[in-house]
Amino acid sequence: MSETEYEIPKNKQKKEKSQNQYINETELKSLIIRINNKTFNEYLSLYFSELNNLLKDSKNNKEQIVQILKNIIKDKKYQLLLLSDDILKELKELVLSFDQENIHNDKKFKRILSIIEPLNNEILQKTNNINSEKKNDLIRLNKYIKKHQKSKSQKYKRILRDSIIRISERTIIDTESYERFGELVLLIIKNILKKPKFSGYTYRDEFYSDSTDKIFRYMKNFNHKLISKITNQPVNAFSYISQYVHNSILHIINTKNTETEETQNFINSYNSALNDETNNSSLDFFDLRVKEFNCSIKKIEESLLLEIQKELDNIDSDKFLKYTDFVFFYPEDYRISLDEYKDILKLKENLTGTLTITKQKAKEQNWIYKKMN
């Protein structure tokens, strides 16, 4: 054994193994309830305690009430409001459109009050019931949770579970319990990543960071009072957290796969573009080598040279550069003089390709041509 290695005591090995194999559902649910209590209390009680005082004389406090509601809605935590999506959307539109011009719009303001007054009462009742000062509830909670973990009697477990949930509903989480919740979350992520379908991936940091972000962001949506339609039992906190972890891992994998695919597609398209450019260059070069301009001169009025020059002048300048072979057919009865032939040779100096002149008949046997490099 090297100096850096050491043996873990057997009792500690056993303790760690038992912790990694089992997460108490009731403890996890209690922690989530208490975290939501703290979040709810911290971000909304201050707003609504002030709002409650203004609502007592709502007619004279229109501007202040609307301003507080604007602050709540503009706050990133406004989704904590206990409203349905439709009503929340309506409230948002009413409040944000409420300005000095329609400050006396009683119909609009009454609709705002009809939404906010019952919500205000519900939030105040909940925040007043939350116990943030007495430590007795926390002591009892920890005691009941330990008993619940050790108990083998299902009946006693149910009694303890109901007591734990009831106390949790009026208690705010403490620092030690917050740390415990973090340990459980990391343990859930670690065990889910042990599944064969998630093995072999190197995105572990992304898996952990995105999963914890999703859990803490959407944990407020967990309602422990709901009953599962499948099991007819209270909703399972472990399944709720595990589902977010599972979905988060799949999201990271899909995102990474998409990025890899896009990168590969970019590389393929880039290579394809290079190949196309190379091929096009080769084809263009080949086309240039075989591009031929053919012209049959049926009648020569003055000289063959002038007729050739006239045809060359009529070629479009862009197309002119693409031709490498210029072939002219002249009438069989026309005779080329030596001076004219010399002038035709000079004409070639202004051409980029070859110049060929031949009679219209007997092209392969009795033709006169001049090829110049």
Residues forming a β-bridge with 294: 327
Q: H or E segment at 131?
A: none
CA 9 to centroid of chain Cα atoms: 46
Q: Residue 372 and residue 342: Cα distance in Å, rounded? A: 13
Edge-to-edge strand ranges of the sheet holding 354-359: 292-296, 325-330, 354-359
Burial level of 305, CB count in 10 A (0-12/13-18/19+)?
buried
**Residuewise pLDDT in 10s, the chain (373 residues):** 333 333 434 444 444 344 434 688 889 999 998 888 887 766 666 677 777 788 888 878 888 888 888 877 776 555 556 677 788 888 888 888 887 666 666 788 888 888 888 877 777 777 766 665 567 888 888 889 888 888 888 889 889 989 998 888 888 888 888 899 999 999 999 999 988 888 888 888 889 999 999 998 888 888 888 887 877 888 899 999 999 999 999 999 998 888 888 888 777 776 776 665 555 544 444 444 447 777 888 778 778 888 888 888 887 776 677 777 778 888 877 877 767 777 777 777 767 677 777 777 644 433 333 333 3
User: What residue type is assigned to position 166 of the chain?
Assistant: R
CB atoms inside a 10 Å sphere around CB 261: 10
The number of helices, as runs of H, and strands, as runs of E, in the chain is 13, 3
pTM tops 0.75, yes or no: no
Residue with tokens 């500690």: 12
The DSSP call for residue 4 is T
Domain boundary assignment for the chain: 25-129, 177-288, 291-359
Would you say 207 and 40 are in contact if contact means Cβ atoms under 8 Å apart? no
